[in-house]
Structure 1
Amino acid sequence: MNNLLAAFGLVLVIEGALYALFPDVMRRAMAMMLSMDEMHIRISAVVSAVLGLALVWLALG
């Protein structure tokens, strides 16, 4: 459970740092997401989740 909380905390730190350091880039990324259709967003999310799971598996394995 502690590892899960640490992982969520790390996600928040990285995301917060991206918004703090590169606000214009993040704003453009959001605008790009708004112009994408739903299927492309879903595919991107699944690919991202699979890559994240693979990284965790490699790190812990």
Structure 2
Amino acid sequence: MSDALWLALALLLVLEGMLPFAAPALWRQAMLRLTQLPDAQLRVFGLVAMAAGLLGVLLLRH
């Protein structure tokens, strides 16, 4: 893998760890709510997140 991809994955881990570190109770409540959502809503959430990430990559690469 290229260095840029490893850097992106490392940054993702930093960003993902910020909320559980800063507000563990809030993070736990959010995760509990997510587990109660139907699969269809989780898929839409995942699709929107992927699309936003792809758009961000495309904008930053040009």
Q: What 5-or-longer segments of structure 2 have no aligned partner?
A: none
Deviations 1:1-46 (A, max 9, x none): 1000000000001111221001111101111111100010011001
CA distance in 2: counterparts of 1:20 and 1:59, whole angstroms = 28
- Residue correspondences, number: 61
Q: What 5-or-longer segments of structure 1 have no aligned partner?
A: none
Identity among equivalent positions (%) equals 30
Partner of 1:52: 53
Give the structure-1-normalised TM-score: 0.94
Q: How much has 1:51 moved relative to structure 2? A: 0.5
Q: Aligned-pair RMSD on alpha carbons?
A: 0.7
Q: How much has 1:56 moved relative to structure 2? A: 1.0
Partner of 1:24: 25
